[in-house]
Copies of this chain bind each other. A is one copy, B any other.
Amino acid sequence: MIFLDFKLKNDSSKYIQIADYIKERIVDGALRTGDKLPSTRQLSALLKLSRTTIQSAFQLLVDDDFIYSQPGEGYYVSDKDPILRTPSHIQWKHYFNTNGELAKNMDLIKTELPWKKNMISFTSIAPDSSYFDTDALKKSFLDIYSLESNKLLNYGYAKGYQPLIDTLKTYMHSMGIHLKDKDVLITNGFTEGLNLVCNTLTEQGDCILCENPTHHTALKIFMTHGLVPIGIPLSENGLDLQLLEAKIQEHQPKFLYLTPSYHNPTGMVISPQKRVAIINLCKKLNIPILEDGFNEELRFSDIPIRPLMSYSGYGNEVIYIGSFSKILFPGLRLGWVMADHDVIDILESFKRTMTIHTSTLDQAVLYQYMKEGYYDRYLKKVRQHYKEQYQYAVDELKKYIPYKKLYGEGGLHLFIEVQINARQLLEKCYEREVLFLPGDIFHLDDEGKNTLRLGISRVTKSEITEGFKIIGNCLEELL
């Protein structure tokens, strides 16, 4: 009999569950047009629920045209065409537009091999959360919250939480950047910053010149904006200035997009001399620069290198996009854009259209965290840690993996070239429970098929050793 298999769950009101149950029986045909339902009294006894609950359920079904009431007799399954008996079935996939499809096809989480339990994964370059000083963050929260909880919880400003903006200006100034006519916008990480620039300052079909390989998310953002990224091949010596000039002349790009420090994925650093030369070249040819501040703060070499933007002095051709996500607390999703105030002004308006503003609570907590000096202390600690981790990984790489080239000089990852197709290697490694990112995803023009990125920030030393041995073995077997 119907209702015998009815079971209450804890997750929603009882009357709705009963109504849902009856609807499902009508839809699946167990109850048919004209069938009489048990009385509210009977059902109440059967299900051990109050009559009011049953009555509410029946009322809901009447509202939805599933049943009707015959006064003095009871409730019957409706013969009308109730909405729920012919549910709509829109083929949503037909609605997907090109940009949506592109975002989906370039979504590594959906296209690359998934991590499984017990695997050693070298895919991530997120910070190692065991190094987070969570107590300091808690203290920062409590301190700032006790000062202005109401303010933090209500609407803030699209530009950002002013004390954090001021802190970032000071920070950027300390890296040699001139603040005159410049301003800062707080964003939901680097990703939103780059989106805002594309949303406001580019036209469909514009060419963007970038390093090849480069940051996969940046490529995805450019392409979902209908922009055309053109790659400048990176040799072991990094960016070739003559090639850069030739490419600019050939393609007249809207922007030059560069990641000067521990470039993702190669780990290369553009030297100060080359930074000056790039600025001079772009000024001569009147090409603005999008500087991706990625890994700036985590550089562990002793030579101080200032951002590209600092070499532009009072000039306004560089838009700098920074992020805290690779440094600390990516869960907070905080980044910033520093640029000419005209640029920030239009980005700010677009930010208000895209996400209104970034979580004030997160901004305030981070501000307090920086103000108390926790940030500097943390940076010092992790820089040392990642330096050791990198050195360790390079040593193990040399021992166990017969690679052809190792790029770069540091970072949260190693980027290597091997003698075979990296996807072929990955397939074999995956069987032995080791995962990494094939380098082709960072490349334009079908390049980089024999390259791979090994993220080392979230693995232990023993995982590095074990994982690299497996990769090395697989590689040798395939050669």
Give the interface of A toward B (CB within 8 A). Answer: 11-13, 16, 19-20, 23, 27, 60, 63-65, 83-84, 86-90, 92-93, 95-97, 99-101, 103-104, 106-107, 109-110, 124, 126-127, 129-130, 132, 134, 137-138, 141-142, 145, 149-156, 158, 170, 173-174, 176, 178, 188-189, 191-192, 195, 199-203, 217, 220-221, 224, 254, 272, 276, 279-280, 282-283, 286, 288, 311-317, 325, 328-333, 340, 342-343, 345-346, 349-350, 352-362, 365
Inter-chain CA distance A130–B153, complex, in Å, is 11
Contacts of A316 in B (CB 8 A): 87-90, 92
Contacts of A87 in B (CB 8 A): 312-316
Inter-chain CA distance A202–B97, complex, in Å, is 6
Given contacts A92-B343, A129-B150, 6 further A-B contacts (CB under 8 A): A11-B173, A63-B276, A126-B155, A137-B149, A153-B331, A192-B355
Inter-chain CA distance A467–B23, complex, in Å, is 52
Tell whether A201 pairs with B96 under 8 Å between CB atoms, given A60-B176, A109-B158, A145-B138. Answer: yes
Q: Out of B60, B100, B220, which one reaches A201, CB within 8 Å? A: B100
Question: Is the Cβ of A154 less than 8 Å from the Cβ of B137?
Answer: no
Question: Is the Cβ of B96 less than 8 Å from the Cβ of A346?
Answer: yes
Contacts of A315 in B (CB 8 A): 83-84, 87-89
Q: Out of B149, B150, B283, B329, which one reaches A138, CB within 8 Å? A: B149
Nearest CB in chain B: distance from A79 CB, A = 16
Q: Out of B16, B130, B132, B188, which one reaches A188, CB within 8 Å? A: B188
Question: Is the Cβ of A221 less than 8 Å from the Cβ of B353?
Answer: yes
Question: Is the Cβ of B283 less than 8 Å from the Cβ of A88?
Answer: yes
The chain B residue sitting closest to A282, CB to CB, is B88
Q: Out of B331, B353, B356, B361, which one reaches A154, CB within 8 Å? A: B331
Contacts of A174 in B (CB 8 A): 11-13, 16
Question: Is the Cβ of B88 less than 8 Å from the Cβ of A312?
Answer: yes
Q: Out of B97, B224, B362, which one reaches A203, CB within 8 Å? A: B97
Tell whether A20 pairs with B202 under 8 Å between CB atoms, given A132-B153, A134-B153. Answer: no
A150, A314, A315: residue with the most chain B Cβ atoms closer than 10 Å: A314
Inter-chain CA distance A83–B279, complex, in Å, is 8
The chain B residue sitting closest to A100, CB to CB, is B200
Q: Out of B20, B90, B154, B272, which one reaches A178, CB within 8 Å? A: B20
Inter-chain CA distance A331–B173, complex, in Å, is 28
Q: Out of B89, B101, B145, B313, which one reaches A84, CB within 8 Å? A: B313
Q: Out of B150, B178, B286, which one reaches A130, CB within 8 Å? A: B150
Contacts of A358 in B (CB 8 A): 188, 333
The chain B residue sitting closest to A279, CB to CB, is B83
Q: Out of B156, B221, B343, which one reaches A331, CB within 8 Å? A: B156
The chain B residue sitting closest to A126, CB to CB, is B155
Question: Is the Cβ of B158 less than 8 Å from the Cβ of A311?
Answer: no
Complex A-B: 10 CB contacts under 8 Å = A11-B170, A16-B173, A19-B176, A88-B286, A88-B316, A95-B201, A95-B254, A95-B288, A110-B349, A129-B153
Nearest CB in chain B: distance from A199 CB, A = 6
